[in-house]
Amino acid sequence: MTGHVFSSEPELIQGGMGVGISSWQLARSVAEAGENIGRPVLGVVSGIGLATTMVVRLRNGDSSTRRALEAFPVPEIAQGIIERYWLNTNRSSLSRTPLKPEILVNGSDERKAEFTRLLIAVNFAEVWLAKQGHSGPVGINYLEKVQLPRLPEIFGALLGGVDYVLMGAGIPNQVPGVLDGLADWKEVSYKIHVAGSEKYVLSFDPKAIIPQQYRMPLTRPKFLAIVSHHVLAQALALKATGEVDGFVVEGPIAGGHNAPARGKEFSESGEPVYTERDKPDLAKIRGLGKPFWLAGGYASPEKLREAKSMGAAGIQVGSAFALCDESRLRDDIKRELRRKSYSGVIEVMANPVISPSGYPFQVVRLEGSLSDPEVYGARKRKCRMGYLVEAYRTAKGGIGFRCPAEPVKAYVKKGGDVDSTQGRVCICTGLAAASADGQLRQAASEPPIVTLGQDHSFIRSMLPSADGSYSSEDVIRSILSIAPSGRSEGRATVSTAETGGRVPKSTTAE
């Protein structure tokens, strides 16, 4: 089958991984390695929960984050944030920290403005850091479900010069128009879903934040929608508010959230059962005339070839990058996951109810994490970050927010259905706790929740031994069938293509 050739598009996309797993260090190393090799590889930072992870970094005295903020176009805004958070461990001042996006609806004008400025600055800073020192492409990933901070966060990424915006977990039909408007410094709006099929409109005017003297021309980034099925790709291509520049077509074994199965059956272990009806028709996606990338178990040269033979521009890979040196997955967790994957004892299960988003979520079975029923049972339900909340109309006619993972009593009082609270985990806090920058309060550490895809066959072509390690460049070279660089000699980087499809055991002693 002849496929479209999109020579300027990256063959390989490092998937966005939240909260804080694909941070600037990973995205930068990926884009830089691609540039050095001479094959563009898209490095993607996660835009999810950045206000939280950045504040943690500033409190810990992270000089890179400070340097990035100092490059923010409006010095007064950056200075205000630095003064407030830099090395600040004062509890009472931090309890006022505006970290919950619902402030953007229900907060005072002052608090709204403060949080808006923080969102813009941290999204700018993450992209800015990822783009330093190379000219490879950098993208940012958001979840459509997390709607409240959408406009300021996208604007911050544009100010940082982001090349691609990627978005899944919902129907991102409003995003292309927002990108067009913001790139032209126009006021934009976003319809927020309110329970009962109502909408609430949030507006944002970039000119109200950035004074005239600091405004510069902005480039409209490309927009890639993450979809699981051709029907959504077709709808977005035809009816989105502007140009969708391509699609990441993600299957049900990919890490993180997945699209729900169309049927209502579950396997014996409780996982959703996907059937032929869930399979995307790639010919139909190809027919849309836009580049697309396949994701979910594609981390090998053979799978890259297979994707291209089906007309894809390339692939998006998450898990293999999540376990590499530059990812910001907590070190102890990363080591344990590498060990388990290498030894073939890792267990990942698609849990249909755990995420408050309502989407199935891949959970790694890991001692001490929220996958452990004892740890889950012992955790006090509390909504600390408020990203995956659902908006609802209050009795007084205002807009309230609830999350099925918050305390059951509070959720029901807000009109939520008690059945929806069963088995839910606070994914925002749990994911943040799995990242190296994620603990909101060191004193009261939260149990993490850990996600990976269900395919780990890549591990033995990248990891030299159960206790070894590998870099993002090793992942790229392995998948693109490029010989290991001198720098990574001694670590296993021999791709299966170079060994005729055979999985190399190891290049170093175990």
Ligand X SMILES: Cc1cc2nc3c(=O)[nH]c(=O)nc-3n(C[C@H](O)[C@H](O)[C@H](O)COP(=O)(O)O)c2cc1C
| Least distance in angstroms from the C-beta of 250 to ligand X | 5
Sign of dihedral through CA atoms 305, 309, 310, 314?
positive
Look up residue 206 and give its two tokens: 């970039």
| Least distance in angstroms from the C-beta of 228 to ligand X | 11
- Per CB under 6 A, the list member of 41, 48, 282, 324 interacting with ligand X is 48
Residue that is written with structure tokens 């005017």 in the block: 205
| Least distance in angstroms from the C-beta of 456 to ligand X | 9
Site stretch for ligand X (CB under 6 A), options 15-23, 104-112, 190-198, 212-220: 15-23
| Least distance in angstroms from the C-beta of 409 to ligand X | 30
* Amino acid present at 284: K
| Least distance in angstroms from the C-beta of 166 to ligand X | 7
Look up residue 350 and give its two tokens: 């698609």
Position 390 contacts ligand X (CB under 6 A): no
| Structural contact between residues 450 and 364, judged by C-beta atoms closer than 8 angstroms | yes
Angle at 500 between CA 499 and CA 505, to 5 degrees: 40
d(CA 374, CA 351): 17
Site stretch for ligand X (CB under 6 A), options 179-187, 198-206, 293-301, 342-350: 293-301
Site stretch for ligand X (CB under 6 A), options 50-58, 259-267, 314-322, 460-468: 314-322
Position 26 contacts ligand X (CB under 6 A): no
| Least distance in angstroms from the C-beta of 47 to ligand X | 9
Closest Cα partner for 222 from 287, 160, 166, 149? 166
Residue nearest to ligand X (CB): 318
Position 420 contacts ligand X (CB under 6 A): no
Contacts with ligand X by CB under 6 A: the residue count is 28
d(CA 191, CA 171): 12
Sign of dihedral through CA atoms 410, 411, 413, 419?
negative
DSSP type of residue 11? S
Nearest residue (CB) to ligand X, 114 versus 126? 126
Position 15 contacts ligand X (CB under 6 A): yes
Alpha-carbon dihedral of residues 8, 285, 139, 103, nearest 10 degrees? 160
Position 296 contacts ligand X (CB under 6 A): yes
d(CA 248, CA 292): 6
Position 433 contacts ligand X (CB under 6 A): no
| Least distance in angstroms from the C-beta of 16 to ligand X | 5
Nearest residue (CB) to ligand X, 175 versus 226? 226
Position 316 contacts ligand X (CB under 6 A): yes
Site stretch for ligand X (CB under 6 A), options 202-210, 289-297, 390-398, 412-420: 289-297
Nearest residue (CB) to ligand X, 230 versus 330? 330
Distances (CA, A) of 90 to 59, 84, 94, 188, 385: 10, 10, 6, 37, 19
In DSSP terms, 224 is beta-bridged to: 166, 246
d(CA 276, CA 472): 34
| Structural contact between residues 52 and 105, judged by C-beta atoms closer than 8 angstroms | no
Binding-residue pattern over the window 75 to 114 for ligand X, x denoting contact by CB under 6 A: ----------------------------------------
Position 455 contacts ligand X (CB under 6 A): yes
User: Which 3-state string (H, E, C) describes 105-146?
Assistant: HHCCHHHHHHHHHHHHHHHHHHHHHHHCCCCCCEEEEEECCC
Site for ligand X in 143-202 (CB under 6 A): 143, 168
Angle of the 109-131 helix axis to the 50-59 helix axis, nearest 10: 80
From the number of C-beta atoms within 10 Å of its C-beta (0-12, 13-18, 19+), residue 333 rates as buried
- Per CB under 6 A, the list member of 23, 52, 53, 141 interacting with ligand X is 141
- Per CB under 6 A, the list member of 17, 30, 81, 165 interacting with ligand X is 17
Position 386 contacts ligand X (CB under 6 A): no
Position 448 contacts ligand X (CB under 6 A): no
Residues of the shown chain interacting with ligand X in the complex, contacts defined by CB under 6 A:
15-18, 21, 46, 48, 141, 143, 168, 226, 250, 254-256, 295-297, 299, 316-319, 322, 451-453, 455
